[in-house]
Amino acid sequence: MTVDDWYEQRRRQGVVSGQSAPQRTPAGITDEELQKQQQEKKEEEDDEEALQKARNWDDWKDTHPRGYGNRQNVG
């Protein structure tokens, strides 16, 4: 349970007023920037080409362990 969840639960119970719960927003991020980030994230999730590319890369990493590359110059 996060702190925000705890405050929300207490607010619903009436123990804590809504104003005493801290508002957690990252410094310097406006609502417009937040909406833009959410839109970009949604577009990335919906993009079939990016999804396929990520899946192919994941499959390649499964078959090629780290350090798989050129080992001829190892002395």
pLDDT digits (tens), the chain, 75 positions: 888 888 888 888 887 665 654 556 556 678 888 888 888 887 766 778 888 888 999 999 998 888 777 777 765
Q: Is residue 27 part of a domain?
A: yes
Q: Is residue 35 part of a domain?
A: yes
Q: Structure tokens of 10?
A: 């207490």
- Specify the pLDDT at position 57: 93
Q: Is residue 68 part of a domain?
A: no
- CA of residue 44 relative to chain centroid, distance: 12
Q: Is residue 44 part of a domain?
A: yes
Query: The domain containing residue 52 runs over which residues?
Result: 3-63
- Specify the pLDDT at position 54: 87
- Specify the pLDDT at position 60: 92
Q: Is residue 22 part of a domain?
A: yes
- Specify the pLDDT at position 72: 74
Q: Is residue 24 part of a domain?
A: yes
Q: How many domains are there within the chain? A: 1
Q: Is residue 71 part of a domain?
A: no
The torsion defined by the Cα of 41, 45, 48 and 50, in degrees rounded to 10, comes to 60
pTM to 2 decimal places: 0.34
